[in-house]
């Protein structure tokens, strides 16, 4: 353009100054959000007053007066709402934790199976992934729950696939060893072995750095973890009594019962999420170049070491971020428990909302609890991710 400097205005008008324009824009946005917020707040206040709904968290100390089917900590209907909600939160943690562990195991197995050289294994794994990913998890939950409730017989005709294990419409009931001090001794021995094993591993690595000699710390730890608790069991008198469930009246007594609600929820969540985890694991393993494996073999590493020292560390770097998303998905999907009647946090909070009418507090608590859980999970996974990340020069 033929404009010269002299023709330009000395001062830029404020609507052309990017900095000032940004300020105005932000102020407008802020005022808008604040106005909408205030409008909703005022409406809510008026509505609450008109419908004479109490506000605040005072209801937490009131008596809950509803039963919860399964609890981690002791709970009765005469306890307060806060305790009921705590029970719900613990149930959410329980299902999510067990679910995540099982999902990781199953997902890894299916992901590896998908890459198997065995045609049948690879095809079945692929079919599994395709089918599970494309059916809503809620439908799967309903399906498993219906299987438990309708296809399994009543307790009297319970199926016994293995002696001591019963499958009926009251859930999965199985025998456990009867209480005996030997069991806790064995547990403590196992923990002690793990601690010793950790130190052994450290010492072994240090020695390898100094002398170049390898020390099979892992194998020794595994051997100790198997043998020592067994020895303790023998020394403590080798208890073999089992707490076998028996029919009494209309239901079983003794043993451990896993409710149909818990089983259906766990089964649905694990089978659904494992399909996604399998795809992530497959992509992670495929991301490690063939050259890496060939190079590792060329410097004389054994197959197990190739996997542990070369393939896994690189694959995990690709796997961990999407895996975190899937774990969070499982955690969030555990809230579907409400649809089949497992008393997780959302379900308890919903009952609380229905009884007290304090919807705002209830929904706010649900959101807060899940935000906290999500945040904690992603903090942990970010820490792990940082630990595994490539150390660049």
Partner 1 sequence: MSEDTAQQKKPGREYLDAPITKIGAVAWLRANLFNTWYNSLLSVLLVYGLAVTVPPFFKWAFVDSLWNSSAAACRDIDGACWSIIPQNVKFIFLGFFPTGQEWRPILAMAILIGLVIYSRERHRWRKSLLWMWLIALVVMGTLMHGGVFGMPVVETSKWSGLPLTLMLSFFGIIAAYPLGVLLALGRRSRMPTIKTMCVVYIEMIRGVPLISLLFMSSVMFPLFLPEGVTIDKVLRAQVAIIMFTAAYIAEVVRGGLQAMPRGQYEAADSLGLNYGQTMRLVILPQALKIVIPPTVGILLAAFKDTSLVVIIALYDILKTTKVTLSNPQWTNYSTEAYIFLALLYFIFCYAMSSYSRRLERELHTGR
Q: Which of 12, 40, 247, 256 forms a contact with partner 1 (CB under 8 A)?
A: 40
Strands (E), the chain: 165-168, 171-174, 176-177, 242-243, 246-248, 251-253, 256-258
Q: Does residue 168 touch partner 1 according to CB under 8 A?
A: no
CB closer to partner 1, 253 vs 382:
382
CB closer to partner 1, 34 vs 191:
34
What is the spatial distance between Cα 124 and Cα 292, in angstroms, rounded to a whole number?
Answer: 29
What is the spatial distance between Cα 136 and Cα 288, in angstroms, rounded to a whole number?
Answer: 32
Q: Which of 346, 348, 351, 352 forms a contact with partner 1 (CB under 8 A)?
A: 346
Q: Which of 135, 226, 231, 247 forms a contact with partner 1 (CB under 8 A)?
A: 135
Q: Does residue 137 touch partner 1 according to CB under 8 A?
A: yes
Q: Which of 65, 76, 133, 253 forms a contact with partner 1 (CB under 8 A)?
A: 133
CB closer to partner 1, 65 vs 354:
354
CB of 260 to partner 1, least distance (A): 14
Residues 90, 73 contacting (CB under 8 angstroms)? yes
Q: Which of 151, 157, 213, 240 forms a contact with partner 1 (CB under 8 A)?
A: 151
Residues 60-119 binding partner 1 (CB under 8 A) are 116-119
Residues 95, 266 contacting (CB under 8 angstroms)? yes
CB of 108 to partner 1, least distance (A): 17
Task: Give the CA count within 13 Å in the CB-facing half-sphere of 314.
Answer: 16
Per-residue tokens: 7: 């023709």
Residues 164, 176 contacting (CB under 8 angstroms)? no
Q: Which of 44, 65, 160, 286 forms a contact with partner 1 (CB under 8 A)?
A: 44
Q: What is the CA 283 to chain-centroid distance, rounded?
A: 21
CB closer to partner 1, 127 vs 230:
127
Query: Tokens 């929820």 — which residue?
Result: 265
Q: Does residue 154 touch partner 1 according to CB under 8 A?
A: no
CB closer to partner 1, 29 vs 227:
29
Q: 42 to each of 29, 38, 108, 137, 228, how far by Cα in Å?
A: 20, 6, 52, 39, 68
Strands (E), 157-272: 165-168, 171-174, 176-177, 242-243, 246-248, 251-253, 256-258
Q: Does residue 33 touch partner 1 according to CB under 8 A?
A: yes
CB of 149 to partner 1, least distance (A): 8
Angle at 57 between CA 328 and CA 345, to 5 degrees: 30
Q: Which of 12, 35, 77, 131 forms a contact with partner 1 (CB under 8 A)?
A: 131
Stretch that binds partner 1, among 166-174, 182-190, 209-217, 368-376 (CB under 8 A): 368-376
CB of 219 to partner 1, least distance (A): 21
How many CB atoms lie under 10 A from the CB of residue 372? 11
CB of 121 to partner 1, least distance (A): 6
Residues 269, 277 contacting (CB under 8 angstroms)? no
CB of 198 to partner 1, least distance (A): 32
Q: Does residue 363 touch partner 1 according to CB under 8 A?
A: yes
Q: Does residue 47 touch partner 1 according to CB under 8 A?
A: yes
Q: Which of 29, 226, 246, 389 forms a contact with partner 1 (CB under 8 A)?
A: 29
What is the spatial distance between Cα 154 and Cα 250, in angstroms, rounded to a whole number?
Answer: 9
Residues near 392 by Cβ (< 8 Å), separated by ≥ 6?
A: none
Residues 268, 141 contacting (CB under 8 angstroms)? yes
CB of 153 to partner 1, least distance (A): 13
Q: Which of 126, 176, 318, 338 forms a contact with partner 1 (CB under 8 A)?
A: 338
Among 103, 88, 87, CA closest to 329: 103
Stretch that binds partner 1, among 19-27, 62-70, 173-181, 219-227 (CB under 8 A): 19-27
Q: Which of 14, 20, 26, 178 forms a contact with partner 1 (CB under 8 A)?
A: 26
Task: Give the CA count within 13 Å in the CB-facing half-sphere of 94.
Answer: 19
Give contact residues for partner 1 (rule: CB under 8 A). 22, 25-26, 29-30, 33, 40, 43-44, 46-48, 50, 116-121, 124, 130-131, 133-140, 142-143, 146-147, 150-151, 332-333, 335-336, 338-339, 346, 350, 353, 359-360, 362-363, 366-367, 370-371, 374-375
């Amino acid at each position: 353009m033929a404009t010269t400097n002299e023709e330009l205005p000395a001062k830029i008008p404020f609507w052309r100054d990017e900095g000032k324009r940004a300020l105005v824009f932000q102020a407008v946005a802020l005022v808008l959000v604040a106005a909408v917020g205030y409008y909703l707040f005022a409406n809510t206040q008026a509505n609450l007053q008109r419908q004479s709904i109490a506000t605040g968290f005072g209801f937490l100390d009131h008596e809950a007066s509803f039963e919860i089917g399964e609890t981690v900590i002791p709970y009765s209907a005469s306890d307060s709402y806060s305790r009921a909600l705590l029970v719900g939160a613990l149930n959410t943690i329980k299902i999510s934790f067990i679910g995540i562990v099982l999902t990781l195991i199953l997902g890894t197995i299916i992901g590896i199976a998908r890459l198997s050289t065995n045609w049948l294994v690879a095809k079945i794994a692929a079919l599994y992934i395709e089918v599970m990913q494309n059916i809503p998890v809620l439908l799967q939950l309903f399906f498993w729950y219906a299987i438990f409730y309708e296809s399994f017989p009543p307790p009297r005709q319970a199926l016994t696939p293995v002696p001591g294990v019963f499958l009926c419409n009251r859930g999965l009931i199985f025998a456990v060893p009867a209480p005996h001090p030997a069991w806790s001794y064995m547990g403590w021995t196992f923990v002690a072995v793990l601690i010793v094993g950790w130190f052994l591993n450290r010492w072994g690595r240090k020695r390898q750095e100094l002398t170049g000699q390898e020390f099979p710390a892992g194998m020794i730890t595994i051997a100790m973890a198997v043998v020592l608790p067994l020895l303790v069991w023998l020394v403590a008198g080798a208890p073999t009594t089992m707490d076998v469930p028996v029919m009494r009246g209309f239901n079983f007594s003794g043993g451990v019962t896993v409710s149909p609600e818990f089983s259906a929820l766990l089964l649905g969540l694990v089978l659904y999420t494992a399909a996604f985890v399998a795809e992530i694991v497959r992509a992670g393993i495929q991301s490690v170049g063939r050259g890496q494996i060939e190079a590792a073999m060329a410097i004389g590493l054994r197959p197990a070491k190739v996997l542990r020292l070369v393939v896994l560390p690189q694959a995990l770097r690709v796997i961990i971020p999407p895996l975190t998303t899937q774990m969070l998905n499982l955690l969030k999907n555990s809230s579907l428990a409400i649809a089949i009647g497992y008393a997780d946090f959302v379900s308890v909070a919903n009952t609380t909302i229905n009884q007290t009418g304090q919807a705002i507090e209830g929904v706010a608590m649900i959101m807060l609890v899940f935000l906290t859980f999500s945040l904690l999970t992603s903090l942990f996974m970010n820490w792990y991710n940082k630990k595994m990340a490539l150390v660049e020069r």
